[in-house]
Structure 1
Amino acid sequence: MTDVFLVLGLAAIFLGIFILLVSAIGLFRFPDLYLRASAVGTSAGLGVACIVVGALMMDFTWMNLLKAFIAVLAQMLASAVGSMAIARSGYQNNSLPADVTWIDDLRMTRRDLHE
């Protein structure tokens, strides 16, 4: 049974590494700040969570389960909030979106454009 958890843990770790690699490629391929922040925020949360869960599967104890739960929860919250804060600050500093973006819902929330 421990061999099964070892293989599943390694698979989860490699899946997390693959997800982070794809997001790193997205940093170079995506055209603007907003797409980059969205891709990295989403994949960083998921990729790191996969790596933590994989490490937990390889060395399971109840204490490690508690640590992994806290680490995954903190990573999911921090990556989502952080990436959206970066995108919002870029928008407030007039970082233009790519030409493929044609809907600008945040424009209606800007006070400096309505005064």
Structure 2
Amino acid sequence: MMELYDLMHGAGLLFIFLGIVTIIVAGIGLFRLPDLYLRASAVGTSAGLGVASIVIGALLMDFSGLNLIKAAVAVIAQLLTSAVGSMAIARSGYLNNSMPAEITHTDDLLKTRRDLDADSHGEPSR
């Protein structure tokens, strides 16, 4: 019969493996996705979840009360900063007129741009 230690160790290895696969998929997305916005979204989400999964796996492999607190802080910080960071990168690209991919049909943020003239019909003022 397997002991609790063996189960936690196996689950930890599984979480670490899933985290590594998630980060590899995000890396592939950097090369395969067509524009800045899709790349920022994929990497921000995948890297956040991948690192959080690796931290949880490491916690399961070496569980203690202090490690639980460290892992909780690390996972929360990683999820918050990856989301905010990828959003900031996409916003910066948008404000610097980085063109979206051809598959993008609508621009819901166009009406909120302050640097557009009323006569330019959606073109940034120069």
| TM-based fold match above 0.5 | yes
Q: Does 1:98 align with 2:101?
A: yes
Q: Which runs of 4+ in 1 moved over 4 A?
A: none
**What is the Cα deviation at residue 81 of structure 1?**
0.3
Question: Which of 13, 22, 28 does residue 25 from structure 2 map onto?
Answer: 22
Deviations 1:16-70 (A, max 9, x none): 0000000100000000000000000000110000000000000000000000000
Q: How many residues align?
A: 115
| Offset, 1:114 | 4.2
In the TM superposition, residue 113 of structure 1 has moved relative to its aligned partner by 1.1
Unaligned regions of 5+ residues in structure 2, if any?
119-126
What letter is aligned with 2:113? R
Is 1:69 the equivalent of 2:72? yes
Any gaps of 5 or more consecutive residues in structure 1? none
- Higher relative contact order at CA 8 Å, sep ≥6: structure 1 or structure 2? 1
User: 1:33-112 residue pairs with structure 2 within 5 A?
Assistant: 33-112=36-115
Identity of aligned residues (%): 67
Cα RMSD, aligned residues only: 0.7
- Deviation, 1:103, is 1.2
Higher helix fraction (1 or 2): 1
* Secondary structure of the corresponding residue to residue 31 of structure 2: helix
Distance in 2, Cα, partners of 1:32 & 1:70: 32
The TM-score, its normalising length taken from structure 2, stands at 0.90
Q: TM-score, normalised by structure 1?
A: 0.98
